[in-house]
Amino acid sequence: MPDTPSIPPVPARSRTVLVTGATGNLGRELLARLHARPAAVRRLDRRPVGPRPGVESVRGDLTDGGSVRAALDGVDTVFLIWPLLDTAPAGPLIAELAAAAPRVVYLSSTAIDDDAVRQSDPIVQVHADMERLLRDAGLRPTVLRSDTLASNTLGWAAQLRAGDVVRGPDTARTAVVDEGDVAAAAVEVLLRRGDDADRTPYLLTGPEPLGRADQVAILGAALGRELRFEPVPADAARARMLADGRPERLVDALVTASLRRPESRLVTDHVERLTGMPARSFAQWAVGHGAEFGRRP
Ligand X SMILES: NC(=O)c1ccc[n+]([C@@H]2O[C@H](COP(=O)([O-])OP(=O)(O)OC[C@H]3O[C@@H](n4cnc5c(N)ncnc54)[C@H](OP(=O)(O)O)[C@@H]3O)[C@@H](O)[C@H]2O)c1
Residues that bind ligand X (CB under 6 A): 20-27, 44, 46-47, 61-63, 81-83, 107, 109, 146, 148-149, 151-152
Closer by beta carbon to ligand X, 109 or else 275: 109
CB 62 → ligand X: shortest distance, Å?
A: 4
| End-to-end CA separation in angstroms for the chain | 42
CB 46 → ligand X: shortest distance, Å?
A: 4
Closer by beta carbon to ligand X, 47 or else 296: 47
Nearest to 105 by CA among 204, 3, 6, 202: 202
CB 85 → ligand X: shortest distance, Å?
A: 10
Closer by beta carbon to ligand X, 164 or else 248: 248
Closer by beta carbon to ligand X, 194 or else 252: 252
- CA-CA distance, 176 to 209, in Å (whole number)? 7
CB 284 → ligand X: shortest distance, Å?
A: 17
CB 154 → ligand X: shortest distance, Å?
A: 9
Question: Collapsing DSSP states into helix, strand and coil, what is residue 69?
Answer: helix
DSSP H helices, 177-289, are 179-190, 212-223, 234-243, 248-260, 270-275, 282-288
Helix axes 122-136 and 91-100, enclosed angle (nearest 10): 30
Cβ-Cβ contacts under 8 Å for 227 (sequence gap 6 or more): 160, 164, 165, 166, 216, 217, 219, 220
CB 289 → ligand X: shortest distance, Å?
A: 13
CB 145 → ligand X: shortest distance, Å?
A: 7
- CA-CA distance, 179 to 149, in Å (whole number)? 6
Q: How many residues does the chain have?
A: 297
Residue nearest to ligand X as judged by C-beta position:
24
Closer by beta carbon to ligand X, 10 or else 49: 49
Closer by beta carbon to ligand X, 225 or else 260: 260
Closer by beta carbon to ligand X, 84 or else 242: 84
Closer by beta carbon to ligand X, 146 or else 268: 146
Question: Collapsing DSSP states into helix, strand and coil, what is residue 150?
Answer: helix
CB 182 → ligand X: shortest distance, Å?
A: 8
- CA-CA distance, 65 to 89, in Å (whole number)? 10
DSSP-assigned states of every residue in 30-63:
HHHHHTTSSEEEEEEESS----BTTEEEEE--TT
**Phi, psi of 46, deg, nearest 5:** -75, -30
- CA-CA distance, 69 to 60, in Å (whole number)? 9
- CA-CA distance, 124 to 85, in Å (whole number)? 9
